[in-house]
Amino acid sequence: MSSLTSNTPKPVVRVPAGLLEFGWQIRLRVRAHNVTAGTVSAWSPWQSATLSDVVPEITGPEMTPAQESGGVTVTTSLTPTFSATASHPFVDSLYVAFEIEHDPDAPEQGTGHIWSGAEPDDPASGARTQVTVPAGVLQDGWRLRWRVRANGGPFASQSEWRTFTVDLDQ
C-alpha cells in the first residue's frame, strides 16, 4: 500500500511480484484512509479487470492515394486519407490517431510534428479507422513520414514510421 501526500495526483498500489499472473480476471475496489483526521471512506464499487501486457495490434496501415516511384512512396494529393485497423482482445473501443511529421532525413524542409488526426468517436476494436488530412497542412515537394497510434486505457502501441513524398506532378 502507498502513503499519499496532498501533492500526490493519484494513488498507486504496487502488488508484490509473484502474486498475480497475466490472463487472470480479477475484481478490485478501493477506499481512502485519512490518517491525520482518523476517517475512512466508503468502499468504491467493484471493478473488473483482466491482467495483461498485450498492446493493441495495428494492421493494414495505408495511405490513399499512394504509389511507388523509384522505391519511394508518393502521394499525389495534399489531402491524403490514412487508414488502419486496431484491435485488442480485452478492450471494446480504441483511440486511433494518425501522425505526420517532417522526415528527419530532409531537415532543410523543417523538423518535427506537422499534423495528427483521429476519428471523433473511438472506433470499436477490430474496426477499420480512416482519417483524411485537412487542406492547408501539406505542401508539394515535402518529404514526410507517418505512423498510427492505438490506445485503449492502459494499453498503447504504435506502428513503425513510413516515409512518403508529396508530388502533385506525379
**Are 75 and 30 in the same domain?**
no
pLDDT at 53: 81
How far is residue 32's CA from residue 10's CA, in Å, rounded to a whole number?
12
Q: Which residue type does 14 have? A: R
DSSP code string of 22-90? TT-EEEE----EETTTTEEPPPPPPEEEE---PPPEEEEEEEES-EEETTEEEE--SS-EEEEEEE-SS
99-103-104-107 Cα dihedral, nearest 10 degrees: -120
> Under a CB-based contact definition with an 8 Å cutoff, are residues 151 and 125 in contact?
no
**Are 67 and 151 in the same domain?**
yes
Q: Which residues make Cβ contacts (< 8 Å) with residue 45, sequence separation at least 6? A: 29
Three cell numbers at 83?
Answer: 487508414
pLDDT, tens digit (0-9, with 9 covering 90-100), for 51-86: 878 899 999 999 999 999 889 999 999 999 999 999
pLDDT, tens digit (0-9, with 9 covering 90-100), for 129-167: 999 999 999 999 999 999 999 998 778 899 999 999 999
**Are 5 and 84 in the same domain?**
no
Q: Which domain holds residue 36?
A: 1-51
Say whether pLDDT at 122 is over 70.
yes
The number of folded domains in the chain is 2
Say whether pLDDT at 1 is over 70.
no
Read off φ and ψ for residue 12, nearest 5 degrees. -130, 130
The CATH number given to whatever domain includes residue 93 is 2.60.40.10
**Are 14 and 81 in the same domain?**
no
Smallest CA-to-CA distance from 117 within 104, 101, 103, 100 is with 100
Q: What is the mean pLDDT of the chain?
A: 90
pTM for this model (two decimals) = 0.73
Domain boundary among the residues 12, 28, 51 is at 51
